[in-house]
Amino acid sequence: MNAEVVIYGASGYTGKLIAWHLAEYGIPFIAAGRSQERLEQQMAGIVELKGHDYQCVAVEHNEQALTELLKGKKIVYNVVGPFMQLADPVVRAALASDCHYLDTTGEQDWMFHCKRNYGEQYRARDLLLLPACSWMWVGGLLASELALEHPGVDTLDLLYLADSYTSVASTMSFMRMLVNDQFYLENNALVTWPRATSYPVSVPDLHRQLRALAWGGGGEIVWYEDDPRVANCSILVAFRNAEMVNAVIGMVEEFEEKYNHLEGDAREQQTNAMGNAMVSEEPPREDPNINRSIISCKARGNTASVHVVLRGNAPYLQTAVFAAEACKRILQGEQRGAGAISPAAAFGARELIAAIAQRGHLTWQSKEV
């Protein structure tokens, strides 16, 4: 088999969705992870892989073993999180193997870490380094890019709403983000969000207000930090389930009271435990008729103002389409630029929107106000 794409962490919830969509795109892949038995079992359970060209490969989670796995490959799609805890060896192995690196993180600090510590090395080798190549935070990035097409806009106020359950790994990632510093952009400077704080928000298509959290700070901040087009950018994530919001805030308050003194591995272990207490089993595959999403971007400048709304469904399935589309474009040599750049810069915002829309997961609306 001549596979040039590796899904690392393929047996997890998001990894299996990416495998399915790579098969739909006709892209051979290696499903990699720590357990050969689990990989083979989970891949065998994906009906869409029947007849597709793939291989399961067990690998130790260390830089040397991963470098051997990635030699001769073009792309590694990393879905093993929390990323700040686990992803450094994968990034270093990809760099050593001249392999493009993409992942599905929602962790803002991991994105800053990648950009600041590996970005120039990847750029020098003409390789892409794309953390958060997933619905969160690509969705808001796409809405932002549509808004920035309007002259005079320099301020982006973003809101996410997803009617989906989170995976086990996603919950651990978000739990660690909620108790660590997360940032928004104000007058070209990074400002820290207050912790354990919710905000009432108005969501398009709903009459009632919902509560929102800063959640993970947002990946858009990482990409727009040095972008001359953007002076201000903030991201909130809204939830219909008020009880869940209360539970999350309660856990963050508990952490602040009992565990905020912890540092390093002890701190990470505690957030993992709290995340597992919230979600210990993988959710069912999303149903587009039930699991819907909205991303709203209200943008303005001194006199200009525009409102962009992306209405979609099944955020995890959108992530899988992003993954397959990104892999297809890299394999065809269609990527733009290198280093730590945004998925919109690498593949084009309108091109990614068109790919998601073609699969029935997205419509969008832009209106000057």
Same domain for 162 and 219, yes or no, is yes
Q: What average pLDDT does range 286-295 have in this prediction?
A: 91
Helical H segments across 58-214, by residue range:
63-70, 83-86, 88-96, 108-124, 135-148, 168-178
Is 127 in a helix, a strand, or coil?
coil
pLDDT 10s digits, 27-73: 999 999 999 999 999 999 999 999 999 999 999 999 999 999 999 99
Sign of the torsion formed by the C-alpha atoms of 85, 89, 95 and 97: negative
Whether 35 is covered by a domain: the verdict is yes
Establish if 368 belongs to a structural domain: no
Whether 159 and 195 map to the same domain: the answer is yes
Largest alpha-carbon pair distance within the chain?
60
Print the domain residue range for 166.
137-313
Tell me how far apart the terminal alpha carbons of the chain are, to the nearest angstrom: 54
Same-domain status, 306 and 161:
yes
Output Rg (C-alpha) for the chain, integer angstroms.
20
Residue 100 lies in a domain: yes
Distance CA 302, CA 232 (A): 12
280 and 327 both lie in a single domain = no
Listed in sequence order, the residues at least 6 apart from 299 whose beta carbon sits closer than 8 Å to its beta carbon are 144, 147, 148, 150, 153, 155, 156, 157, 305, 306, 307, 308
The length of the chain, given as a count of residues: 369
141 and 108 assigned to the same domain: no
User: Strand 189-192 to strand 183-186: parallel, antiparallel, or no bridges (unpaired)?
Assistant: antiparallel
Residue 339: the pLDDT is 98
Say how far apart CA 120 and CA 114 lie, in whole Å. 10
Q: What is the pLDDT of residue 166?
A: 79
Indicate whether 113 and 241 sit together in one domain: no
Looking at the structure, tell me whether residues 285 and 228 fall in a common domain. Answer: yes
Out of 134-138, 162-166, 304-308, least confident range: 162-166
pTM (two decimals): 0.96
**From CA 128, how far away is CA 347, in angstroms rounded?**
11
167 and 78 within one domain: no
Task: Kindly state whether residues 344 and 264 are assigned to the same domain.
Answer: no
Q: What is the pLDDT of residues 194-239, one digit of tens each?
A: 988 889 999 999 999 999 999 888 999 999 999 999 999 999 999 8
Same-domain pairing of 56 and 119: yes
Identity (one letter) of the amino acid at 118? Y
**Six-digit token pair at 322?**
């992003």
Q: Which percentage of the chain shows pLDDT scores above 90? A: 82
Q: Rounded distance, CA 83 to CA 108, Å?
A: 10
Tell me if 50 is assigned to some domain. yes
pLDDT on residue 275: 87
Average pLDDT over residues 175-183: 90
**Cβ(193)–Cβ(212) under 8 Å?**
no
What integer pLDDT is reported at residue 3 of this predicted model? 96
Judge whether 369 lies within some domain. Answer: no
202 and 309 together in one domain: yes
What CATH number does the domain containing 129 carry?
3.40.50.720
> What pLDDT, on a 0 to 100 scale, did the predictor assign at position 367?
94
Mean pLDDT across the chain: 94
Among 29-43, 92-106, 119-133, 269-283, whose mean pLDDT is lowest?
269-283
Instruction: Write the pLDDT tens digit of every residue in 313-333.
Output: 999 999 999 999 999 999 999
Number of structural domains the chain divides into: 2
> Quick one: 197 and 172 in the same domain?
yes
- Mean pLDDT on 256-284: 88
